[in-house]
Amino acid sequence: MAVGPSVAGDDSTLNYSKHINYWRRCAKTYLPTQYTGNDCNRMMLAFFVLSALDLLGDLPTALSAEERQGFVEWVYRCQLPEGCFRPAPATNLGSQGNEENRIWDPVHLPGTFFALQILILLGDDLSRVKRREILQSLLKLQRPDGGFGQSVGEKDRVEGGNDTRFGYMGAAVRWILRGTVEGPVDGVPDIDVDKFVKCVQISETYDGGISEEPFHEAHAGFTCCAIGALYFVDRLPLKASQPPDDRIRGLTNLPMTLHWLVSRLTLTLDEEDAVDTLGDETDSAATCHDSHSFVKLGSYPSEGGKLSFLEQPTSHFELDWVGVNGRCNKIADTCYAFWGCAPLKMLDHLELIDTRPIRRWLLDKTQHVVGGFSKLPGDPPDIYHSYLGLAILSIFGEPGLKDVDAALCMSNRAKEHLESLPWRQAIVGEKGS
Amino acid sequence: MPQKFYHDDPEWADIEPIAQDDGPHPLAAIAYTDEYSEAMGYLRAAMAKNEFSERVLGLTEHIIGLNAAHYTVWLYRAKTLETLNADLKQEIAWLNPTALSHLKNYQIWHHRQTIIEKLGSPEGESDFISTMLEQDTKNYHVWSYRQWLVQRFGLYTEEELNWTESMIEEDVRNNSAWNHRWFLVFGVPRDGREVDEYTVQREIAYVQEAIRKAPQNQSPWNYLRGIFKQTKRSTEDLKTFALEFANVNKPDDIFSSHALDVLADIYAEEQKKDEAKKALDLLATKFDPIRANYWNYRKVLLDQPEVAA
């Protein structure tokens, strides 16, 4: 197989054939035993595998029509009698499932979100999805404070954390099934959108990021999920071109959030760069994360600090590779290229970063020789990092990859298929796309 | 650990395991070990019967050891503990080493919270947290859990602040520790009252000292800017402080890119566009070139005052 097209004037390339091999192996053979810890997230892994093949343009070639239909059936087997999808067959009690024990195989928001995504990208029309029941479950999954939980437990108690990941998935499921239309649909009341937006607002942090709960530390994953959620409920800050309205909107200080997002770019690319911070409060290039090579040393650097400073290059050649971290003063990690940069795309501000050195970092440092991407240079590849690495490269405009909708984190081709479905068009009409 | 099977265990002879039904075209199928496959079959069977027993505690412990992210096994275990009126201190004693071998697991903290809530006391938790942070001083779950403890038991104390300070002393770039400090100072329930001026002054002095030690460290700069924004104070003092580390007219004596960033903002507020541009140019071209696009964007905003506000 030929190696894919490269970007003019840049030697770093995405090794298409290796990535296709990697993802076909994931789709066609058993995942290694080490994935047992993800046994209850198989719907998510399955989405990554199929969507990666879609982005690589390999979905119709890698999988026969029969295989694809077989996978659709597997997803529908995970649909619960009361609507929604379990995230894996692991919790299915089979013929012994009943009212008394359903709390052990409960309505599950991530299971539902990833199941819908898979059905969409495999071209299903969602006609067998219990849509009304899912919308009713969303009401149960929304907590009194406006946030969403993971699953519905005993006596309708909402279980799981209260972070923006579940808010993202709740908002996404609502958008998939009913666009941005507000108010009841098919006789099912809407979630409380205003309360949800307020819940996101109070998780904004003093430095401009967003955390899982008020006062927790700002985190790129939670920030990306929050911004995606606001996008799905159409409550991102208005752009200059949009007429003002009186709806509550999220991101109370957009300039600060942009500042926080671009601050995720870092030159700390190796674990060795990061551990040196411990116990060394002197600035030096070795304790440095971003600009330390360029600023002057402080007044009383330690001997070690002086030495490591002298050893570091002070020219800009090292800017060939720029990584992205998830929190302030943390090391770069492949998945944060997605979590940190996708929100900029959703906010129409991808131009605030130079994506080329980030692309080079992914392709030169974390792309793996067997295909896929690893978390850090030198680690083995895994499904999660391999997918998010591919998705952000697509957002950066990598030639030969299908373009990705940053909020849905899947191809625009798949998104357009969803938008073409007649039942959805009937709900969404003209305005709520 | 030796493998554990159930089919030849007389204690489980009465249970018919429920096999996993994956259908003919499974997605993301995992190469399970025989041990895990079998244990999951017994777990499903026990759950189907809503059995809450001592042996279920053993079974859930076994599953957690193999797949700590199984979301209902934790709920099942909690319900079993409750039904059996089990010794919860013993549960915590079991959880401690379990958490240490699953550092990135999230369910475990939720479970711990449930147990500590029932015990009604944070006794011993501080020591356990220290042990966890020795593995990873920035572990997100651990810091989140610590916030819950403080909120639940009203531990907005001098001791808590001192501990946080010791974490910052150990690593002045530990943003989790800085964030915890912010939570203790600004997150304490105050019935709508502002944080008193003495405390604000103490915080400013503390953070300024930390910046003087390591000026190219964004955590305390964010903290300092946060204080000024939160308390809506004049940025005059912030400007004076930032000038210690950067002067736009002395580009060879810049000690902190973050000081330039602060100055650019303040000059923009003061309508000193030329000064602001100088600061942003220095950032874009010399001191923080990885964000050049962003600094150049900030320069464009200077000429659009209504957007920049």
Residue holding tokens 């006391």?
B121
Kindly report, residue by residue over A224-243, the tens digit of the pLDDT.
999 999 999 999 999 888 89
Residue among B23, B28, B187 whose CB faces A42 most closely: B28
Task: Report whether B55 contacts B11 (CB < 8 A).
Answer: yes
Spans of chain B, pLDDT less than 50: 307-309
Q: Name the minimum distance, in Å, from the CA of B185 to any CA of chain A.
A: 11
Q: What is the pLDDT tens value at each position of chain A, 433 positions in all?
A: 344 444 445 789 999 999 999 999 999 999 999 999 999 999 999 999 999 999 999 999 999 999 999 999 999 999 999 999 999 999 999 999 999 999 999 999 999 999 999 999 999 999 999 999 999 999 999 999 999 999 999 999 999 887 899 999 999 999 999 999 999 999 999 999 999 999 999 999 999 999 999 999 999 999 999 999 999 999 999 988 889 999 999 999 999 999 999 999 999 887 655 544 434 444 443 344 454 456 765 544 555 455 545 544 454 555 789 999 999 999 999 999 999 999 999 999 999 999 999 999 999 999 999 999 999 999 999 999 999 999 999 999 999 999 999 999 999 999 999 999 999 999 998 555 5
Nearest to A329 among B44, B219, B257 (CB): B219
Angle at A332 between CA A255 and CA A322, to 5 degrees: 75
HEC profile of B101-140: HCCCCCHHHHHHHHHHHHHCCCCCHHHHHHHHHHHCCCCH
Which helix (H) or strand (E) segment holds residue B287: the answer is: none
Give burial (CB, 10 Å; 0-12/13-18/19+) of A254: middle
**Cα A363 from Cα A384, distance rounded (Å):** 16
For testing contact with chain A, the best of B256, B290, B300 (most A CBs within 10 A): B290
B187 touches chain A (CB under 8 A): yes
Cα B254 to Cα B249: distance, rounded to the nearest angstrom = 10
Contact across the interface for B67 and A40, Cβ inside 8 Å: yes
Is B49 labeled as catalytic in the residue annotation?
no
pTM (predicted TM-score): 0.94
B23: nearest CA in chain A? A74
What pLDDT is attached to residue A161?
82
Res A240: pLDDT: 84
Q: Domain limits of chain B?
A: 236-309
- Phi/psi region, residue A155 (left: phi>0; alpha: psi -120 to 50; beta: rest), is left
Which residues in chain A have their CB less than 8 angstroms from residue B171's CB? Answer: 277-279
CA distance linking residue A8 with residue A417, whole number of Å: 32
pLDDT value of position B192: 85
Question: CA-CA distances (angstroms) from residue B140 to A52, A330, A332, A367, B144?
Answer: 29, 12, 16, 26, 6
Residue A274 burial (CB < 10 Å; 0-12/13-18/19+)? buried
Nearest C-alpha in B relative to A222: B140
Facing residue for B255 by CB, picked from A45, A296, A352: A296
At B53 the three-state DSSP class reads coil
Q: Alpha-carbon distance A356 to A274, whole Å?
A: 23
Three-class DSSP category at A140 = helix
pLDDT for B307 equals 46
Q: Which residues of B touch A290 (CB under 8 A)?
A: 216, 218, 257, 288, 290
Q: Catalytic residue among B104, B118, B138, B213, which?
A: B104
pLDDT in tens, A168-185: 999 999 999 999 999 999
CA-based nearest distance B293→chain A, Å: 5
Q: What per-residue confidence (pLDDT) applies to A210? A: 98
Choose among A74, A258, A351: nearest Cβ to B27.
A74
Q: What is the DSSP letter of A300?
A: S
| Predicted local distance difference test score (pLDDT) of residue A31 | 98
Contacts B137 to A, Cβ<8 Å: 278
Locate all alpha helices (DSSP H) within A233-277, ordered by sequence: 254-262, 271-275
> What secondary structure, in 3-state letters, does B143-196 show?
HHHHHHHHHHHCCCCHHHHHHHHHHHHHCCCCHHHHHHHHHHHHCCCCCCCCCC
Instruction: Report the alpha-carbon distance of residue B180 to residue B187 in Å, rounded.
Output: 9
Mutate to test the interface with A, among B173, B200, B286, B298 (most CBs of A within 10 A): B173
Alpha helices in B191-270 (DSSP H): 197-213, 218-230, 236-243, 257-269
Residue ranges per domain, chain A?
264-401
